[in-house]
Chains A and B, each alone.
Chain A
């Protein structure tokens, strides 16, 4: 029983998250445990949602990565808030606009990859410049508040759990079900393990890739919509930190960077861990520069630790 638990690749991100939690608690002498857990769930949810999307793309195999996630989040956030214009009862319209922006961005990314045969790194980076420009142009520096009801939902809680975390969990369960139980999930994993073999086996690999690139953009746009509502408006740099975060949570969570294997629970453990590390460094009262440096070193340290485990077994 114990050995089966330890052999799960996702267990390590949860262990790391728990360790970070204990370290913050040790600093505050155990005060504010529930507040910290609540904050970790709220902020971790955004990382988990974009991490899920990045996980699906990385599962597609070497070279597949979406670097346009921050730009798509910003674009969806600004467009949806502009459409809602702080009017009450427009939350559904805003969500629809956000998802439409996500679908559009995902299709644009895949068009560049498929039609122009650009490497995904270059394609998504160049496209993200265009998305960013559209966001700047549509926003014009305005800071539009989200409708009151939506803002209350995004910052509120149900039975003690933040609503954004609940949304994240529901999305995770859907992704997990699709990967483990649906034909599409099998297709995705097969394409990631060996694209040529998958194509010869009759799997519509291009359809799988297209769907995956649209899915990651839609997940990013939902995260952007929620984040903009959560923080009282969209900002042009709101997605910035999620570029590293989205890739880091996938790798720390135990998903193979070589593709072909996904790991949903690990993404959550890693997302909580990433938030807890930052709050740990914050509570030590370190300067911004040192904090940034340590965050980078901790991520690299974990990637090294994960790889030595992999080589040994």
Chain B
């Protein structure tokens, strides 16, 4: 049993999601419907995109503590510039992705601690967002709104989107050559450099990918909430890190699993819905999220300890 889990790390995130889903359906049988599942996982789409963004950074052995602020900023840009002046909006969003690539260059070139730089960047993103939208407001561009509220037959949009995100990133990171090299940067940057790869450019690419998925997360979020504010996604920083780890990723060594990360994000989004079914007092909502996080990560330990001992 333990051996099985150690070999197929993806089983644990799947199992966590299944258990939580079963518990939710037990608490609230009416959730077991097209409409219910849509409601449960609606907010999971931006979280899954943010988790994939975080995964790109963790893949190259860094960590991004500014992601929540960045997604909030993208949400503000989307609800203002992208709605009012689409061309300018697209340019700004492209500029933000370029800024992320630049961040990767800066961190690699000067051997800076990513944790400090991104913590500083969270102030920069937050400051810009506050300047754009000093108070909550803005309007979602209609096309994003209709994309996020589309109702495909049989399976809810959120599930389709999650499968799509997982498939695309799995292909990109696990299947393609460049994805393998990117994971190699996390595994052993020196040997990737010896093999003739430009590590600086690879790091820029990893950060740019993170920026791209961060932008998608912000746009998806605005499509759901219809308006934005400067603090709308601050909790995504924690959620995205936790999602990556829940999904079987490691902080070092380039060991990440895109499918696991998306499932981890779904689990965390579901945990929030589950807690609201429990009718906990609002005082304990935040704490219960922390407790669930600790619980699920503990389960990961039980199944992976053997892995560590044998390795």
Contacts and interface: CB of A to CB of B under 8 A. Distances in A.
Contact of A133 (B116, B127, B251, B287): B287
Contact of B251 (A119, A128, A136, A295): A119
Contacts of A118: 294, 297, 301
Contact of B63 (A112, A121, A299, A307): A121
Given A116-B297, A126-B242, A133-B290, A289 B129 contact: yes
Interface in B274-310: 281, 283-291, 293-294, 297-298, 301, 305
Nearest to A297: B124
A122 B247 CA distance: 14
A103 B117 CA distance: 30
A47 interface: no
Interface residues of A, number: 45
Given A119-B251, A251-B113, A304-B112, A127 B124 contact: no
A289 B134 contact: yes
Contacts, number: 142
Given A129-B289, A130-B291, A248-B119, A119 B127 contact: no
A232 B238 CA distance: 31
6 contacts: A112-B294, A133-B284, A287-B131, A289-B130, A295-B123, A300-B116
A118 B293 CA distance: 11
Contact of B106 (A63, A128, A304, A311): A304
Interface in A103-132: 112, 116-119, 121-122, 125-130, 132
Given A244-B119, A288-B134, A300-B116, 11 more contacts: A121-B241, A126-B290, A127-B294, A130-B287, A134-B287, A137-B287, A247-B116, A294-B127, A296-B127, A299-B119, A303-B120
A65 interface: yes
B120 A244 contact: yes
Interface of B: 63, 106, 110-113, 115-117, 119-124, 126-132, 134, 230, 238, 241-242, 245, 251-252, 281, 283-291, 293-294, 297-298, 301, 305
Contact of B297 (A122, A292, A307): A122
B286 A65 contact: no
B291 to A, nearest CB: 6
B112 A65 contact: no
Nearest to B106: A304
A251 B116 contact: yes
A201 interface: no
A297 B123 CA distance: 8
A117 B115 CA distance: 21
A257 B122 CA distance: 19
Nearest to A122: B245
Interface string A274-313: 0000000000000111111111110110011001100100
Contacts of B122: 244, 296
Contacts of A257: 113, 115-116
A288 B134 CA distance: 9
Contacts of A133: 283-288, 290
A152 to B, nearest CB: 32
Nearest to A141: B283
Max count, chain B CB within 10 A of own CB: residue among A119, A122, A287, A304: A122
A293 B124 contact: yes
Contacts of A127: 290, 294
Nearest to B114: A257
Contacts of A129: 238, 286-287, 289-291, 293
B294 A116 contact: yes
B110 A308 contact: yes
A106 B305 CA distance: 25
Given A126-B294, A307-B112, A132 B121 contact: no
Max count, chain B CB within 10 A of own CB: residue among A132, A133, A137: A133
A304 B102 CA distance: 14
Given A125-B238, A247-B115, A248-B120, A130 B290 contact: yes
Contacts of B291: 126, 129-130
Contacts of B297: 116, 118, 122, 126
Interface in A264-279: none
Contacts of A112: 294
A293 B116 contact: no
B293 A293 contact: no
A136 B284 CA distance: 8
Given A122-B297, A288-B130, A300 B286 contact: no
Nearest to A295: B123
Contacts of B293: 122, 126, 129
A26 B309 CA distance: 62
A247 B123 CA distance: 14
Contacts of B289: 129
Nearest to A136: B283
